């Protein structure tokens, strides 16, 4: 046993070494033109990422959080509107909702997929929504606010079950904004459309993060909005640039939310490798599934329903002995993560909202039991074997199998 990490949780060094020549050429090109903000690199990325996601438009911004916030505002979410999402996500999901001026409401996740449970959304809407005879909008009976949007989170690289969510959204006149920050390239089989559809192409708009550790990551901050709605794209492009439609003519008050050209150029190079990297992640997930299968129910592997092709941003197992397993792996030099240890509704930041333990049991149980194993493009089968052997050793010594 040693304390030195032998198997990292993620390897961000190797891909940059492999692409060093191309990435440095981008820097050189940008330095030579000194076009640091906007320009051909950003426009090129927007065109290519829209093509990758099968959408008409892409608006590059400086983070996934801004992408989500601008999407909500551009889609017409107003101060006081209710936006429904899940408490099992990174806090950026709810930060964006609040900062768009909206009121956060939660529904619980499906414990198998860790994404929004459409049945729970249905129950919430049936219980709380009543149609206003004048406007036709659905109003929350107790809060007396319009229920305006839903934000399904495609967590860990797997899309939420979108058909029933879209059906409910149509029935209750909700705008659907996908939080696709962890799901670049993920796919969903839509029975409604009878074909596979890409993350980012399903809702009115979607938000992606290009944070360095993401499947498509910048060498700094970055994000993007994808949409088929021209008006949303136009408004989002204004919001990211101080609300201006023309230089120094500000139609609305906006933000400084632009992506810089260096990041855009770097992302364009990496985008060419994204499909290959995602395939490697899917192959690694398959290897983990096989290696961990003998442990039966004691260490539960991720579930990929028939409707999903996950891109395994994270490979998350589940066990009642999570903390002990994490320590055992750390002692063996294997790095892991927990995404996320505290559900959003129980975060100190939201204490004033009065949510309490027991409000969202599936999320709370997951937060205690989930563990993210090493997962990245380039993870070697030998490293995975070591991870699985160490987990099996742990299971035997704790007699959990």
Contact footprint for ligand PLP (CB under 6 A): 63-65, 89-90, 92-93, 153, 179, 181-182, 209, 211, 223
Instruction: State in angstroms the smallest separation of the CB of 67 from ligand PLP.
Output: 7
Distances (CA, A) of 160 to 188, 192, 193: 8, 15, 16
Peptide linkage before 340 cis (omega within 30 of 0): yes
C-alpha to C-alpha distance for 140 and 121, rounded to whole angstroms: 13
61 touches 224 (CB < 8 A): yes
DSSP assignment of 377-394 equals TT--HHHHHHHHHHHHHH
C-alpha to C-alpha distance for 241 and 305, rounded to whole angstroms: 40
Instruction: State in angstroms the smallest separation of the CB of 246 from ligand PLP.
Output: 28
Instruction: State in angstroms the smallest separation of the CB of 271 from ligand PLP.
Output: 16
Residue number, 298 or 372, with CB nearest to ligand PLP: 372
- Which residue, judged by CB position, is nearest to ligand PLP in the bound state? 64
157 touches 40 (CB < 8 A): no
Tokens of 163: 């058909």
Residue number, 116 or 332, with CB nearest to ligand PLP: 116
Tokens of 242: 């101080």
Residue number, 212 or 378, with CB nearest to ligand PLP: 212
What's the full length of the chain, in residues?
A: 401
Instruction: State in angstroms the smallest separation of the CB of 92 from ligand PLP.
Output: 3
Instruction: State in angstroms the smallest separation of the CB of 210 from ligand PLP.
Output: 7
DSSP bridge pairs for 337 = 372
3 touches 333 (CB < 8 A): yes
Residue number, 90 or 394, with CB nearest to ligand PLP: 90
Instruction: State in angstroms the smallest separation of the CB of 96 from ligand PLP.
Output: 7
Instruction: State in angstroms the smallest separation of the CB of 155 from ligand PLP.
Output: 6
C-alpha to C-alpha distance for 335 and 106, rounded to whole angstroms: 31
Element at 95 (helix H, strand E): helix 92-99
Residue number, 64 or 337, with CB nearest to ligand PLP: 64
Instruction: State in angstroms the smallest separation of the CB of 117 from ligand PLP.
Output: 17
Angle between helical axes of 118-128 and 162-171 (0-180°, round to 10): 20
Residue number, 63 or 201, with CB nearest to ligand PLP: 63
SS3 72: helix
Residue number, 177 or 329, with CB nearest to ligand PLP: 177
314 touches 337 (CB < 8 A): yes
Residue number, 94 or 261, with CB nearest to ligand PLP: 94
């Amino acid at each position: 046993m040693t304390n030195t990490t032998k198997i990292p949780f993620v390897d961000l060094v190797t891909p940059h070494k492999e692409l060093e020549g191309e990435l440095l050429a981008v820097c050189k090109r940008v330095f030579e033109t000194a076009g640091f903000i906007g320009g051909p690199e950003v426009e090129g990325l927007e065109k290519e990422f829209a093509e990758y996601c099968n959408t008409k438009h892409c608006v590059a911004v400086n983070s996934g959080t801004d992408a989500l916030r601008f999407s909500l505002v551009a889609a017409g979410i107003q101060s006081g509107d209710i936006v429904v999402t899940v408490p099992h996500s990174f806090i950026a999901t709810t930060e964006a909702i609040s900062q768009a001026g909206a009121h956060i409401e939660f529904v619980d996740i499906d414990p198998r997929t860790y994404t929004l449970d459409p049945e729970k959304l249905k129950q919430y809407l049936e219980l709380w929504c009543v149609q206003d005879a004048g406007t036709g909008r659905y109003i929350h009976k107790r809060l007396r606010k319009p229920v305006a949007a839903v934000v399904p989170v495609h967590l860990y690289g797997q899309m939420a079950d979108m058909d029933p969510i879209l059906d409910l959204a149509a029935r209750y006149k909700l705008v659907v904004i996908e939080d696709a920050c962890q799901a670049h390239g993920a796919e969903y089989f839509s029975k409604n459309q009878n074909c596979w559809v890409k993350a980012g192409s399903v809702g009115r708009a979607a938000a992606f993060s290009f944070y360095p550790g993401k499947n498509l990551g910048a060498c700094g901050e970055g994000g993007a909005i994808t949409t088929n709605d021209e008006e949303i794209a136009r408004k989002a492009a204004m919001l990211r640039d101080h609300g201006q439609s023309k230089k120094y003519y500000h139609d609305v008050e906006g933000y400084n939310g632009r992506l810089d050209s260096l990041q855009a150029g770097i992302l364009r190079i990496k985008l060419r490798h994204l499909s290959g990297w995602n395939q490697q992640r899917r192959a690694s997930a398959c290897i983990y599934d096989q290696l961990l299968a003998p442990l039966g129910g004691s260490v539960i592997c991720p579930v990929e329903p028939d409707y999903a092709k996950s891109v395994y941003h994270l490979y998350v197992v589940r066990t009642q002995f999570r903390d002990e397993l994490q320590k055992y792996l750390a002692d063996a030099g294997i790095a892991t993560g927990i995404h996320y240890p505290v559900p959003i509704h129980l975060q100190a930041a939201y204490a004033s909202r009065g949510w309490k333990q027991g409000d969202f049991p599936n999320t709370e149980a997951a937060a205690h039991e989930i563990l993210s194993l090493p997962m990245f493009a380039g993870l070697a089968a030998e490293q995975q074997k070591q991870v699985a052997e160490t987990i099996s050793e742990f299971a035997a010594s704790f007699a959990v199998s």
